[in-house]
Amino acid sequence: MFCIPFALLAQVVFGAVFLQNVLSLTPLEAGLSMLPVVLTIIVCAQFGGRLVGNIKFRNLAVCGSLAMGIGFATQALVIHFNNLWLLFPGMILMGAGLGFLISTVSTEALSHVSLLARARATALLQTCRQVGGVFGIACVGALINWREKTMISAAAELMEPNDNDRELLQLLLYKFMGDQPAAAALLHERWPQSLYILKAISSRALADAYIFSAVVLLGAAVMSLWAFKGHTPRQRPQGPEGPPPMNSAND
C-alpha cells in the first residue's frame, strides 16, 4: 500500500517537472501529457475490482508491482532521447499496474476485519498511503537533488578551468535549476553550451530516480510473494435480521 501513492506521485510530480523544464512544455501541455497514466488507471481499476475473489491477491499484487516497475524502467531507458512519445508506453504500463492495485489493495485490506473495525481500518489504510507517498517523494526528490548537484559540479570543472569563474558558473547552474530567469540569461551570455548540458543533467537525474523507483517496486513484488497467500474472501450479503421471536402466553 505504501508503493501506490509513491509510484503515482513520483510519476506525476517529477514527470511534469521534466516535461516543463527539459521538453519546454507549458503547464497545460505537461498536464495533458500525463493523461495516459490517468486514463489507464481509470480503465484498469474497473477490471481490477472484478478480479478480486477470482484470482489470488498475491498474484494481483505481484503483477501490478511488476507492471509499475517495468513502466518506470522503460521510461528511464528512453528519457534521455527527450521524446514525449517514447515515454507513453512506460506511462501506460505504470498506470495499468497502479490501476489494478488501487481497488484490490483496499478490498484485501478491509476483507480481513470485522464490520465494527472497518472505519478504523480504512483510516489506517489511508494514513499508510499518505505516509508512503510523502516518504517516497522525499526519497526520490533527495536522490534527484543529489544527482543534479554532483553532475553540475563535474560539468563545471570540465567547462571552466578558472577557479573563480568556476564558482560563479556552479552558482548560476544551481540558480538556473531553481528556475531563476536572471541566471538563465547570464548563462546564455557567457556559457551558452551549459543550457544543453543542464537538460542532459536533468534527464539523467530523473532517469536515476525512475530506476530507483523500479527497484523499490521490484522489492514490493518480491515481498508480495512472501507476505500474501490465499484468496480474498468474498463478502456475502447479510440478510435483514428480524426482531427476536416473542414468547407465547403459555410459556
What is the per-residue pLDDT across 145-161, written as a single tens digit (0 to 9) for each?
898 888 888 888 877 77
Decide if pLDDT at 74 tops 90.
Answer: yes
- Provide mean pLDDT across the span 200-222: 88
DSSP SS3 for 76? helix
DSSP-derived secondary structure letter, 230: S
Phi, psi at 167, each rounded to 5°: -65, -40
Range in 177-181, 206-210, 214-218, 239-243 the model is least confident about: 239-243
**What is the pLDDT of the chain when averaged over all its residues?**
78
Does residue 124 carry a pLDDT above 80? yes
Statement: residue 16 has pLDDT above 80 = no
Lowest mean pLDDT among 150-159, 193-202, 223-232: 223-232
Determine the average pLDDT of the residues in 19-39.
86
SS3 239: coil
Q: Which stretch of 28-37, 46-55, 174-183 has the lowest confidence by average pLDDT?
A: 174-183
Q: How far apart are CA 23 and CA 15, in angstroms?
A: 11
CA distance 62 to 183: 46
- Cβ–Cβ < 8 Å for 232, 57: yes
Residue 238 has a pLDDT of 44
Higher-confidence residue of 188 and 242: namely 188
What one-character DSSP code corresponds to residue 39? H
